[in-house]
Amino acid sequence: MSDTIAAIATAPMKSAIGIIRISGQDALAISNKVFLGNHGENPRNMVTGKFLSKNGDICDFGMGVYFKAPASFTGEDCVEFYTHGSLAVLRTILISLYHAGARPANPGEFTHRAFLNGKMDLTQAEAIIDLIDSETELSARNAAEQMNGSLGREISSISQKLTEIASEFYAYIDYPDDEIPQTERDDIAEKLYALSSQTEALGGTFEKGRFFRDGVKVALIGRPNVGKSSLLNALLGCERSIVTDLEGTTRDTIEENLSINSLALRLIDTAGLRDAETIPEQMGIERSRRAAEDADLVIAVFDGAEEINDYDKEVIEIAKKQRSICVINKTDLGCVLDKEAFSNLPTIEISAKEKTGTDRLLDMICDIFEIADIPCDGKTVTNPRHASTLMRATDSIKSSADAFRGGIYPDLAVSDIENAINILGEITGLHAQDAIISDIFSRFCVGK
């Protein structure tokens, strides 16, 4: 890849400063045609200068810096421009760069080049997306640690131990008549079981680690008029959802994000469950049921000032099927509802209108997910690809351990170890297929 790419690296909106990135073997020559500032004379030195449009007119004054290969993000010659953050200015400079010989960068192409040039492994590249997408301090910290290579190093160290074990047994494969003593087989099986526990535990961190990346999906369900929208608004501290006395107002799901104690909540207000009167309402109710099924937590809302009816009973049945909290709302009007109906489900009384009990509800949610206890050392797996690959590697390591212990021919046991090493290599990128790699980088934004 020697062609030179250019892209705007900052968000496509008006801002104080805009950044343009250029990478490739002609980065300096091309940028010299657009930026008059001698930034190439001293690499890694920021210099001021003028930016020219493709017609040679001055379109901005700003700064440029040259990173000489291989000491750059991509490992190639790179230039970065810092301009005023007008989209018109940024586009004019970008077009000028295209005119001078650069081509538009594809999504993630800068990072893809960095990966191909050995600047980072795949876990570090993927951590960049997680860092950009992170919504809480904890998820940013974990992503930053992964970007720093902690997950990649952990996986490489397991691979290294597997390689050492496999190489001990190549001799027996070459001389199949030599018997491996059973004590040696048992020893090796123990080591392999220990490594499989390590990959299994690492993969298991995804159970909570996924909340770092995707947030916790919380669906508010209940029959119409129990106060779901009022509760969403109370939690958000703003009027996001329409609140009326009319039933069937919320026909589609409404999703809002709320970060609380490092937990990113994705709150989903749903259409009230009842016998729909119209097709759009029926569709909305179907979505409510699906949202409840997909949610990590169901908040089942009830009107405390009314007796439980058949629709409430249906809501209780949904709540029983998964992790849920029953919220008895409208307690400012008094409580006539029979709490026995909730049997053992966690229950809380609130008033969305008066905003009482809502803080306690948030505490209950945080206690359920205990995100503050998750280590942010980068060894918490947040990526579903990493989690499923670690589980495949675990199976392969376990099967090699079983084979060693069971006295099976060493070549079968060793081939399972080699398989596990290859699987782990899919995570770091050492053995990942091109299609997987392209797919990963296509999810980046242009300019990254």
Using CB under 6 A as the criterion, which residues of the chain lie in contact with ligand GDP when the complex forms? 222, 224-230, 243-245, 250, 272, 329-330, 332-333, 351-353
* Region of 11 on the Ramachandran plot (φ > 0 left; ψ -120 to 50 alpha; else beta): beta
Quote the least distance from Cβ 240 to ligand GDP, whole Å.
11
Residue nearest to ligand GDP (CB): 227
Are 107 and 441 in contact by the 8 Å Cβ rule? The answer is yes
For residue 20, how far is the Cα from the chain centroid? Answer: 26
> Which CB sits closer to ligand GDP, 90 or 316?
316
What is the C-alpha R_g of the chain? 29
| Alpha-helix residue ranges (DSSP H) falling in 241-383 | 279-294, 310-321, 358-369
* DSSP code per residue over 72-123: SSSSS-EEEEEEE--HHHHHHHHHHHHHTT-EEPPTTHHHHHHHHTTSS-HH
Using CA atoms, how far apart are residues 387 and 245, in angstroms rounded to an integer?
46
User: Cβ closer to ligand GDP: 228 or 386?
Assistant: 228
Nearest distance from residue 227's CB to ligand GDP, in Å? Answer: 3
If the CB atoms of residues 199 and 250 are measured against ligand GDP, the closer one turns out to be 250
Q: How far is the CB of 247 from ligand GDP (least distance, A)?
A: 7
Least distance to ligand GDP, CB of residue 229, Å = 3
Q: What gap in Å lies between CA 141 and CA 94, rounded to an integer?
A: 33
Query: From the CB of 243, what's the least distance to ligand GDP, in Å?
Result: 4
Residue placing its CB nearer to ligand GDP in the complex, 143 or 316: 316
For β-strands 297-303 and 78-84, DSSP reports them as unpaired
CB of 389 to ligand GDP, least distance (A): 42
Q: Which is nearer to ligand GDP, 29 or 364 (CB)?
A: 364
Pick 152 or 227: Cβ nearer ligand GDP? 227
In the complex with ligand GDP, the residue whose CB is nearer, 229 or 324, is 229
**In the complex, least distance from residue 299 CB atom to ligand GDP, rounded to whole angstroms:** 11
Q: Using CA atoms, how far apart are residues 11 and 425, in angstroms rounded to an integer?
A: 33
Task: Say if residues 420 and 393 touch (Cβ distance below 8 Å).
Answer: yes
